[in-house]
Structure 1
Amino acid sequence: MSSPKPPAAEGGEHLSGPGRLVGRSAELTLLDGFFGSAAVRGRALMLTGEAGVGKSALLDAAARRAEDKAFQVLRVTGSQVEAGVGFAALDQILRPLTAEIAELAPWQARTLRAVRAVGGVPDGRQAELLAVAGSVQVLLSRKAARGGPVAIVIDDVAWLDRPSAVVLGTVARCTHGAPVALLAACRTGDESFLSGTGIPAHEVRPLDETAAHELVAGRFPAMAPRVRQRLVAEAAGNPLALLELPATLDEAQRQERGPLPAVLPLPERLKKVFAVRVEALPKRTRELLLLAVLDGSGGLHILERALGGDVLAELGPAEHAGVVRVDSATGRLAFRHPLTRSAVMELSTAAARRRGHLALAREFPAGSEHRARHLADAAVGPDDEVAALLHEVAYRTLRRGDAVGAVSTLLRAADLSGTGTARGRLLAEAACLGANVTGDLRNVHALLGSARLADPVGSGSLAAATAAASRLVNGEGDVDTAHRLLTGAIRDHAAGPRETGTIRDHAAGPRETGAIRDHAAGPRETGTIRDHAVGPRGAGADILDEALLTLLVMCFHSGRPELWKVFDAEAAKAQVRSPDDLLCVLRSAFGDPAHAAPAVLELLDGLVAKLHRETDPRRIVRTAVAAAYVDRLPGCRSALRRVVDDGRDGGAITMAIEAFFLLANDAYLSGQWGDLPNLTDEGLRWCARYDYRLTAQPGRFLRGLLAAAQGDTATARRTADRLVAWGNPRGLGLLRVYAAHIRALSALGEADFESAYRHLRSVITPGEIPAHLPHALWLFLDFAEAAARTGRHGEAAAHVAAVRGAGIPAVSPRLAMMTDAAEAVAAPDAVDHELFRRAVDTPDAERWPFEWARIRLAYGERLRRARAGAEARGHLDAALGTFRRLGAGPWSARAANELRASGIPVGVPVGTAAYEAGRPAPLTPQELQVARLAATGLTNKQIAARLFLSPRTVAGHLSNAFPKLNVTSRAGLRDALTGLAPERTT
């Protein structure tokens, strides 16, 4: 007799914890309801679904849940071996019921004992089968009456022997007579003896993507996310495939240190599931399916040209078997499950695959990407000409937006290279793109090591230096060392013959020249490279761009003019050879935004306008980087989100990290502060996972800036300290500027203007707008306020004059608004209504709510001190509302204090009588504000600086407040003011 099948023979192991199925809450709820009603009035249910979808796992879970509900569970498993043995399956039910059989009526007991003796009813005549079914029903009814409801759980219904299936089908139709539940499972499309019995069916669907990721991550926690993404896509929600496919990968592949095959191989269990139908097809059909897998496009016309004959007719058997779907109207073929492609490959020979690739290559024109890839897959040894073709294809793939595919193509080209020089150069380029684009920084060391082994002489290539420099600054290296390394490589690249940018310079053999001419030149480039880059730039230009952009990032983070000077010299030489508008825009709008020429900004606006159709993640992110300081980020949002989605799908990870922080930057400026933590958190998690420590610093800065604005002083201080501690040993001067910005904003929120001035003065020289510190563009309003509020009006005015002299107001409306406000704040005494109003009335100023609210607060403060209380209140109330919406606690407190000082209890609606007049109280608003500040321990001079008063006036207010509060010194102020209600002030 057959024994029960081990659990999870078809994907049943999709468990995340003990006994917990992943992604099956709906099915388990259905089964709970099924057993609940079956306990009252019997029911039957058939689970259907594709092989490996998890029907067995659901049956196991159902059996456990039935036992929890006091069901007596009887298990049956169909067996292919015993499908021809009469009553083999029914015996699995009767075996544990031997004692109960003895208590039946004699004729019923004899009938069931005969069933248990194999061959007791050899011909399975209908009369005997009905007698057996009747006896089983009585047996089950008695079992239920004595011990509670009974559940019969049947797996692999298709392999039940016919007599057992007929009996069980009769039982299933008559379950309503007793509390008996019959739950069975079979593959979709399988015929069985239970078919046609009218049992209700429920299809078990594949897992959704979220559940699939949870299943794989739970079982293989060390697997790289991008590898997991590929497996999830290939498995298409099939739990068995999700759990078995990782077994075909080695440790390096699982951790993304080695490339994955184009078609994943199948382990033995999956071969049994997906190969059985393919094996049964005619030879001609299998050949067509192999061509379809190798082609990958699904186009029937390609198969027709490559193999000839009536393709639709020859694919018919595969359609009938449910292997493929063919749409003759569109001329497309699709495999019903992605792993069927793997099964087709597993059943083919290496010779057949090579013939197929060569046949397909002949159907594509010379120079096409498809031809190059098929020739590469057909190669059985080194082939420099094909390697050269793949070299060009890699960069076309990159510009199309497939960064991972580009790196894989470079690695394949390296495998096909016949010389160490060519192989080393290609491996170095793969390392370069891995470090700067795809997030493979952890693999850079291994790739560069392989490149050195292949070509010890050329180990200092530009690509190798770029990859090494990126790894250096993200690790324990300093920016000066990385800068020297990369600058030297750029100069060597310019001086040597390798600058032409094709593989012909580092691969042997004159035969390549013709191949490159045929495959890399000519009008075929139109619509590909030229759509994605300025001018006909080849692979060498791409690497030079990566080198220069890496150098630019180093100069930006260094904050030192001497490094920028070297960059400008090398970039000027490169631009003569191979001009790139984006590099020019980045140098000006990002590297020195305060002095960006109108022509550069116009060029940038054009690049931003074209982002909706840009596919290259590098150009999207770098255009957005150029847009960041000059307020063009809103136009980049949708394109940046596409880069983020691509990264989440396993694409350009490095670019996605930068996109996260650019979107967070935009969220800060636009007042979407609730989005900023999520964006930076995800970006920082990726930085930690992929070892991008320098790339993480802008994300840390933004979190620190938000903490400062919202009054989380401890977090702001820790973040600033961490930036300085990490940046100083590495020569990263920008991080000191970031830290000063965070500390100054925190101090300004607390009205500690002296501290704010001190922090800002450490990175700013009044009257100078440095070209080597782009971030200074974000600090001039803060500096003007801090300097003016500490009596340094001359410094504030000089700095604002420098801002206007540099033409910064013309860069963007936001910077124009802030310049007007800074000049108004810098004025020593009088309220400059024209400047304040021009700033407040800037068109669409609400797009920058934090700055706008700060300007209204500053205007309201000046108006109140000029005794224009009614006008001040409107600005102060608007500022308070915005600060509260943003969660900017310290700034809300400043605005609220000003409103109280103007005689308005905070929270009283504008326009009410109480708002207009206030309410009488022992202390005047000014006296109360001075007393509260004095109670914190501030001196008269410090209070005067905060409130724009003279120390003598502060002393006068305190002398008036002491008798009103019944205190004689500052020591008693805190207790006297505790609990003082707003209505006690005037």
Structure 2
Amino acid sequence: MTGTQTARSPLRIHGRDTELSTAHTFMSGLEHRTGGALVCAAGPGLGRTAFLERAVQDFRPGRALLVRATTADGARPHGGVRTLLRAVTGRWPHARPAAGTGQGSERSALLRLLHTAAAGRPLLLCVDDVHLWDPPSRTELGRCAALLRTSQDPVGLLLSVADHRAHDPALAGLPRLRLGPLDGPAAAALLGDLTDGRAAPAVREELARAADGSPRLLGELAAGLTPPQLAGLAPLPRPLADPATLLRACGARPAELPPATRRLLLLAAAAQETHPEGPGADAALVLRAAAAAGLGAPALEPAEAAGLVRTEGERLRFGSAPLRRALYESVPLAERRAAHAHLASASADAAALRLPHLVHRALAGDGPDAGLAGRLAAAARADGPYLSHEERSVALAVAAGRTEDGTDRATRLTEAADHARLAGRPARARELLVPVRALPAALPVRGRAELVHGLLSLRDGPVADAREELLLAAALLGPHDAAAALTARLAATEAAWAMGDAAAYVEALGGERSGVDAPADAPGARPVNAAPGVRGRLPDDYRTGMAAVLSGRLDAGVGPLRRLLARTEQAEDPEVLLRAGVAALVVGDLAAACRVNARALAAARALGRTTLVPQALEHLAYGELRAGRHPRARVHAEEGLRTAHRTGQRNIAAHQHAILALVASVEGDTDALTTHATAATAVAAPHGLVQVATLTGWALARADLGAGRVDEAAARLGPLVRPGPRQGHFAVRMLAVPCYAEAAVQAGAPDAARAAVAEFAVWADLGADPAAPAQLARCRALLAGAGGGRPAAADAYYEEARARHEDTVNDFERARTLLLHGKWLRRRRRPGPARGLLRDALVAFEGCGARAWTEQTRAELRATGDAPAGAEPPAAGRAGPLAELTPQQLRIARCVAEGATNREVALRLSVSPRTVDHHLRNVFAVLGVRSRLELARLVDRAEDSTAAL
């Protein structure tokens, strides 16, 4: 039965902004009498139907109808088109299909029917699952869609097809869009809708990962949980969904396939067990195994036609990871073992397939096999870049399953967990660690398990807990594995840094033995990671330099850290490079920091250490941010955020949100600032991320400052820059002082900033920030000019600040100095010199994309009598009564209409509150209004009229 509907209730769709924009552009063309068609392709469960329903809901200018195709429509020639004709006439009885026979008659009838149904108004006809129709119907519909593009009728066809049928020849030439899997934030937002916000954050993250971006599967998973499980108060079921649920959510019906096809699909699914998240199964291996099992290549064709699997080069790829998992787990264990036996036999003679061969042999058997498990573990540990961390993890986990000895089993599970961590699969890593604590194992093995768990907690959990786990791991490993103990202590320093606890950092760093260098083959040593950086040397320079810096002796730490940077800048290990990048940021070498962290990013990608990629992007974004290159920082942080979500690292994601909030505070994007600040705080508070909280507070305060809300900015920044129990992060406090000094002075409280500026002066002299000397001179200029106190000194400090900015690359900070100096000169009744500085500031702010500061600068220029590009139109171009206002009165009226108080207007326009009050009384008299509310309404109406013109 074919369904028709017009959407009535609100329909929220997440993660489809780009696709919806494309559809809205297509639909807006119908308003301008431009007909046409658009094809929407998506895999099963990815929301084709919901997308079409949303299009019907959003189509306002005319009529809209959604028709759902069914397999019954395609059972007879032209059945689909005839069903469509009936649906249209059923919805609009005045339209009647014209009778006719012969080739093209259905097409002609449909065109005439749509012309009649439209009746001169825009008409949107959506057909869902067109691929289910018969070939003649699809051909006629495709030709009809092509003809609509040149017709005079404002009729549009929005068609959906399964992803594997997107290139149907019948629809060739029609524009199309594709709905892919949802990303992490979109899946979390959808889950919030599905559960009314009752799902705990950790549960949301796990469900989103398990759903693999499928909205339908996400709904199935959420529906299968009890309220305590959703709230995180009860353990989640394992597995999260049974095979039948997975198959239903993926739109797969394997029982309808021929037996030979089902057996070949099982071989393909089993072949990918060695690398579940990889690029697909080795097609040649699968076909060799299929031939040995008496199956021919043609047996694959029904599965390809159903969209379950596709051939891409030398790989067989399933429609989704949950689909492959369901097809594998839905068959009895004996059949899975038989499939692995065929695969083991087919890979026996290939040297490049040694590890997969051993994995398949192990999965084909049952019970302990010490010899096979040992060979498999040795192959998984072998050097060679061709093996990914996931492949090593799978092999070690399978080896552990065939291991009887408790210590060896725990060791292999721990190594498997660490490789899963490096592959960006933290949930799998935690699962592998669960049985380790119940196994009898020696202290070194327990220590290595604690180390892996602590590293996982460091990226996704309370960092104070992670620090304690890592210190425990160091204590357990110290007498047995010096390299691993060193790794644990270094990770503990990262936790202390995130906590904002400098003393804890020094304690963890000082606990190591200077110059430790444990070779990989040291007696009793078994490195946790295959990565050489974990068992590499930590020079004394790093320990000495960072201990000095975190103890408040930056001058003593700079030399050792610079030596370290010079020796390690060309290293190839991403972990070594990341530490060198930290050293570069600490000593203020921003060019080296960006260069080294970019190299760390490239190395992490090249070596497949997926878990390090978002951290490298975070450090790279910090370097760009410190250099004032906000657009670059945004690009890196956005990619880092996506990668952090994909790899389950919420703490890293929170740092990326904080960076993006800082960028948004410069770019003036209020919505982005609110979104990122909220997301950062939601993780920072429960996980104890003091650095994230400080950066987020700084971002909000800087946005307040840019908008002229100086009181709010000073209130936010005061606790962050002053010493005390609520102080900000030790690495951020001094960076935020210039903002605080500006806010405090403009808020009329310069004395509150003097102590912070004095401390900033000491820090600036140490050379840890290239922009600090210029910012210090600017702060001193602000303090000297406060209340008109020492104008000559203020001028001299501003000149010094401008001169020092010439030696830095931070254009944003230079522009802020130019703006403040220009404001100061204008207030001193020197509009000529002010105008030149303000023009330079305007150009710099525009180049930085700093919209809020750009508007401030334009307002200052107008106040000097200049009229920069983008200024408000002359009086002749204003609407209605606003034309009677002077430029200054108009500026004040607009500020008041936005809700600003007289004091806020005065600060924003750099005039006195008394001046604002005087102008505002005149504005009321000219416009004939008696309240601020009436003024706001009048300004809004006038602005709307101007926009309409």
Q: When the two structures are superposed, what TM-score results if normalisation uses the length of structure 1?
A: 0.54
Offset from partner CA, 1:905-947 (integer Å, 9 cap, x none) = 354679xxxxxxxxxxxxxxxxxxxxxxxxx99xxxxxxxxx9
CA contact (8 A) 2:304 2:310 kept: no
Following superposition, the deviation at residue 700 of structure 1 comes to 1.9
Preserved CA contact (<8 Å) 2:377 2:395: yes
Match of 1:850 among 797, 813, 823: 813
Show the counterpart of 1:356: 339
Q: 1:225 to 1:468 in 2, by over 3 A?
A: same
- Show CA shifts across 1:443-480 (max 9, x none): 98x99886544469859726526856996999889x6x
SS at match of 2:161: coil
1:274 aligns with 2:249: no
- Which whole-Å CA distance do the structure 1 matches of 2:108 and 2:802 have between them? 84
Comparing 307-316 and 248-257, the one that deviates more: 248-257
Amino acid at match of 1:302: L
Superposed counterparts of 1:703-722, under 5 Å = 703-707=699-703, 709-710=705-706, 711-717=708-714, 719-720=716-717
- In structure 2, C-alpha distance between the alignment counterparts of 1:359 and 1:611, rounded to whole Å: 42
Instruction: Quote the residue 2:493 is aligned against.
Output: 551
> Which position in structure 1 is the counterpart of 2:131?
188
Measured at CA, do residues 724 and 791 of structure 1 come closer, stay the same or move farther in structure 2, by a change above 3 Å?
A: closer
Q: 1:662 to 1:29 in 2, by over 3 A?
A: closer
Alignment pair present for 1:728 and 2:725: yes
8 Å CA contact retained: 2:467, 2:495: no
**Equivalence for 1:461:** 447
Once the two structures are superposed, residues 288-340 of structure 1 have per-residue CA deviations (whole angstroms, 9 ceiling, x without a partner) of 54555556634322224444469874446436854567669x44434467676
Cross-structure match for 2:509: 567
**Kept in 2: contact 1:54–1:240 (CA 8 A):** yes
CA deviations 1:864-923 (Å, max 9, x no partner) are 99x999767634653477579746779969996xx99xxx9354679xxxxxxxxxxxxx
Deviation of 1:684 after TM superposition, in Å, equals: 0.6
Q: How does 1:604-643 map to 2 (within 5 A)?
A: 604=580, 605=592, 607-611=596-600, 613-614=602-603, 615=605, 616=609, 619-620=612-613, 628=622, 641-643=638-640
Q: Separation in 2 of the partners of 1:400 and 1:636?
A: 32
Q: Which amino acid aligns with 2:179?
A: D
Matches within 5 A, 1:250-399: 266=245, 269=248, 273-279=252-258, 281=260, 285=264, 288-291=267-270, 294=273, 297-308=280-291, 313-315=297-299, 317-318=301-302, 321-322=305-306, 330-335=313-318, 341=324, 344-345=327-328, 348-361=331-344, 362-363=347-348, 365=351, 370-371=356-357, 374=360, 377-378=363-364, 380-381=366-367
- SS where residue 205 of structure 1 aligns? strand
Change (3 A) 1:678 1:556: closer
2:702 corresponds to 1:759: no
1:874 maps to which of 836, 839, 853: 836
* CA positional deviation for 1:551: 1.6
1:657 is matched with 654
Q: Is the 8 A contact 1:660 1:683 kept in 2?
A: yes
Corresponding residue for 1:960? none
Structure-2 change in CA distance of 1:764 and 1:473 (3 Å)? farther
More relative contact order, 1 or 2 (CA 8 Å, 6+ apart): 1
For residues 913 and 633 of structure 2, what CA distance do their matches in structure 1 show?
Answer: 52
The residue type paired with residue 351 of structure 1 is A
What SS is found at the alignment partner of 1:572?
coil
Shift of residue 547, structure 1, vs aligned partner: 3.9
Partner SS state of residue 204, structure 1: strand
2:194 matched residue in structure 1: 219
Matched residue SS, 1:333? strand
Contact in 2 for aligned 1:303/1:311 (Cα 8 Å): no
Structure 2 Cα separation of the partners of residues 403 and 727 of structure 1: 45
Change in CA separation of 1:215 and 1:190 when aligned onto 2, cut-off 3 Å:
farther
Partner of 2:161: 205
* Matching of residues 424-503 of structure 1 within 5 Å: 452-454=437-439, 458=443, 461=447, 464=450, 467=453, 486-487=470-471, 489-495=473-479, 497-499=480-482
1:644 counterpart SS class: helix
How many residues get paired? 742
Deviation of 1:548 after TM superposition, in Å, equals 0.7
The structural deviation recorded for 1:613 is 2.6
**2:744 equivalent in structure 1:** 747
What CA distance in whole angstroms lies between the structure 1 residues aligned with 2:399 and 2:502? 40
* Partner SS, residue 331 of structure 2: coil
- 1:482–1:834 Cα change, 3 Å: same
Closer, same or farther in 2 for the Cα pair 1:642/1:750, shift >3 Å? same
Report how far residue 404 of structure 1 moved: 9.1
Residue 596 of structure 1, CA deviation: 3.3
Corresponding residue SS for 2:514? helix
Please name the residue that 2:935 is paired with: none
Amino acid at match of 1:874: G
Change (3 A) 1:403 1:853: farther
Alignment counterpart, residue 596 of structure 1, candidates 534, 548, 558:
558
Equivalent residues of 1:53, 1:204 under 8 A apart: no
Counterpart CA distance in 2 for 1:841 and 1:297 is: 54
Largest Rg, 1 or 2: 1
Distance 1:261 1:868, change over 3 A: closer
Distance in 2 separating the partners of 1:191 and 1:489: 65
- Give the corresponding residue for 2:583: none
| TM-score between the two structures when normalised by the length of structure 2 | 0.56
Partner in structure 2 of residue 696 of structure 1:
692
Q: Amino acid of the residue matched to residue 464 of structure 1?
A: E
SS at match of 1:681: helix
- What CA distance in whole angstroms lies between the structure 2 residues aligned with 1:891 and 1:257? 52
Q: In the alignment, is the contact (CA less than 8 A) between 1:48 and 1:187 conserved in 2?
A: no
1:241-286: per-residue Cα shift (whole Å, max 9, x none)?
5644666789969979688689965457469842144345467645
Give the Cα separation in 1 of the matches to 2:673 and 2:181.
23
1:910-929 correspondence runs (5 A) = none
What is the RMSD of the two structures over their aligned residues, measured on CA atoms? 7.3
Which stretch shifts more, 686-695 or 605-614? 686-695
Distance across 1 between alignment mates of 2:739 and 2:387: 36
Query: Could you say if the C-alpha distance between residues 418 and 780 of structure 1 is closer, same or farther in structure 2, counting changes exceeding 3 Å?
Result: farther
Q: Is the 8 A contact 2:737 2:757 kept in 1?
A: yes
- Partners of 1:767 and 1:63 in 2: CA distance: 61
Distance 1:498 1:476, change over 3 A: closer
> Which stretches in structure 2 are left out of the alignment for 5+ residues?
34-38, 119-124, 146-156, 163-177, 520-534, 570-579, 581-591, 870-901, 904-909, 921-949
Measure the CA separation in 2 of the matches of 1:290 and 1:28.
40
- The letter for the 1-side match of 2:693 is Q
Equivalent AA in structure 1 for residue 496 of structure 2: M
Following superposition, the deviation at residue 545 of structure 1 comes to 2.9
